[in-house]
Structure 1
Amino acid sequence: MLKPDPEHPIVPLTLAQARALRYAAETYPVPDMRLRYRVIVAVLLTTGVRAEELCALNRRDLHRTGPGGQPALWINGKGRERRWVRLVDWVLALIEEYLADRDAADANSEIAVRGQVSAKPADRPLLASREGKRLEPQQITDALRYLCRSLLRHGATSSTVRAHAAAVRAIADTVHPHAARHLYAIAAEAHGIPIRQISRDLGHATLATTEAYLEQGHQLAGTAAPTLSDLITAGEDTTEWPGRSTN
């Protein structure tokens, strides 16, 4: 069974944190970065792919009509094992908008150099930096943390922004793309998706790994801590304790 790193355990994202990350990406003020951030967040949250898998995708791996006629990504997973992951329509639309913007920027800045051979469009990375370089997994982690911090720096009085900022405050310096995979597994199980399908979606080699994801998510669900707290504090009137204000 998969055991979490005792120094750096992966804590699954909550749905509130997932929504906050999506809000931060959707409202990011710099247009080209907003388009890239939207794709990163949406794909991680709705497919459960690893950061390494997301970075390894080429344009040819995006299939508008995959198995069963559904949009899909052809993932190159661990051990070079290939698998399909479904893309929902709104995420495909975000990817299409991002790619169209990138192509327009490339067309405006392209300079022909003697002897230079450009990669065929299909071989180009699906996600790239402004310079056209393939993103690295650490850049995916950095993007999530930057989005969290952008909410904390927002300084707006909107109740929506305050709620999203509160949701990510505790994870702004530690959030990791793997936390989205854990949320994917836990939310899928909670809504009746069979564990074998969840395992296929996530590209796990064995069901034991998927079971470990789910077990980590359930570890505190039945804890006795609240019961013990109620027993210990039952009937207490702390206002009479020394140093407690009665105002």
Structure 2
Amino acid sequence: MSDFATSLAPDAAAAVQGWLASLKSERRMSAKTLEAYARDLGQFARFLADHLGTPPSNRDLALLTVSDFRAFMARRRMNGVESRTLARQLSSLRSFYRHAEKTGLFRNPALSALRAPKLPHAVPKPLSPDKAKELAKADTLAGDETPRWVLARDQAVLTLLYACGLRISEALSLTTAQVEQPTLTITGKGNKTRLVPLLPAARQAVALYRELCPFAMKPNEPMFRGQKGGPLNARNIQLLIARLRGALGLPDTATPHALRHSFATHLLANGADLRVIQELLGHASLSTTQVYTEVNRAHLLEQYRKAHPRA
């Protein structure tokens, strides 16, 4: 809240604080989502302080025009922000203004006149089954100087990303108590809980890591550790995959999240039901999962063009 303390008048800063508190208590948003919303409002507040020449109050927020909001979006665009981020920031502003109107602080109809930026139609870029298996083998980069437990740790993390379709944050937050169960209970985005089977390959990789890890593990603490014993940082895995990309000649789209995309795409290609995949990924809406049908369709068309004599 330090951004608001300096960029907003006290009453507006209190309004933002009340909005964030309601998101946490009523909508039970995760800490990371709340941080993103707070960051969006902080950037808006800093822009307004510069745009208006003074930290804006609730009255100023109520009197902003469509041109003021468009000026903020244009400034963000000039700073190199992409459409997807702009759309999220506009969604954050609308959520804040709805809260302000609902609680009787102020209202501003100008915001409803703004259109969200048109988003590019993005299709996930999974790896082939062979490439996904190669990427999930951390020992490709093994050297004499790399401790065995670190290799086992990296192998376990990458296997969980591909074999269980986990997000990197979900894999790194796993505890020993969770992996001792036949099915993982994962709390993902929006505090949505889902069940994911812990396949034998993943179970074996985790067991080897736990056997070799030199640090004591409490049941409800993050299981994956850095070399000094603290929780493993996602950046370590991102850098590892960047090195693996170079060693294996993979494209830049081969990221930790590409293993999750590969998990979903390969399940669909082998006949898994779309709603089952939705549950395994933890998607709130089936439409989010349906994007993987486009990946499958694109693959079929590519094979058709390669194989058909009249293509």
Distance in 2, Cα, partners of 1:223 & 1:15: 17
Show CA shifts across 1:127-165 (max 9, x none). Answer: 12112222233332222222233xx3xxxxxxxxxxxx3
1:34 match:
151
Count of residues in Structure 1 that have an aligned counterpart in Structure 2 = 190
Letter in 2 for 1:137: A
- The secondary structure found in structure 1 opposite 2:134 is helix
Superposed, 1:1-247 pairs within 5 Å as 10-25=124-139, 28-29=142-143, 30=146, 31-64=148-181, 71-102=182-213, 105-106=214-215, 121-149=218-246, 152=247, 165=248, 169-171=249-251, 173-219=252-298, 221-222=300-301, 226=305
Rg larger for: 2
TM-aligned CA deviation for residue 83 of structure 1: 1.4
Distance 2:269 2:303 in 1: 22
**TM-score for both structures, normalised by structure 1:** 0.66
Question: Relative to total residues, which structure has the larger helix share, 1 or 2?
Answer: 2
- The TM-score normalised by the length of structure 2 is 0.54
Quick one: percent identity of the two aligned structures? Answer: 26
Counterpart amino acid of residue 32 in structure 1: W
CA–CA distance in structure 2, aligned partners of residues 224 and 136 of structure 1: 39
Deviates more, 1:176-185 or 1:20-29: 20-29
Residue 18 of structure 2: aligned partner: none
After alignment, is 134-143 or 188-197 more displaced? Answer: 134-143
Hey, what's the Cα distance between the residues in 1 that align with 2:299 and 2:205? 36
Aligned partner letter, 1:19? K
Q: Which residues of structure 1 form unaligned runs of 5+?
A: 65-70, 108-119, 153-164, 233-247
User: Alignment RMSD, CA only?
Assistant: 3.0
Q: Structure 1 counterpart of 2:285, which letter?
A: T
Q: Secondary structure at the residue paired with 2:300?
A: coil
Q: How many Å apart are 1:58 and its aligned residue?
A: 2.1
Amino acid corresponding to residue 78 of structure 1 in structure 2: K
Maintained 8 Å contact 2:154/2:237: no
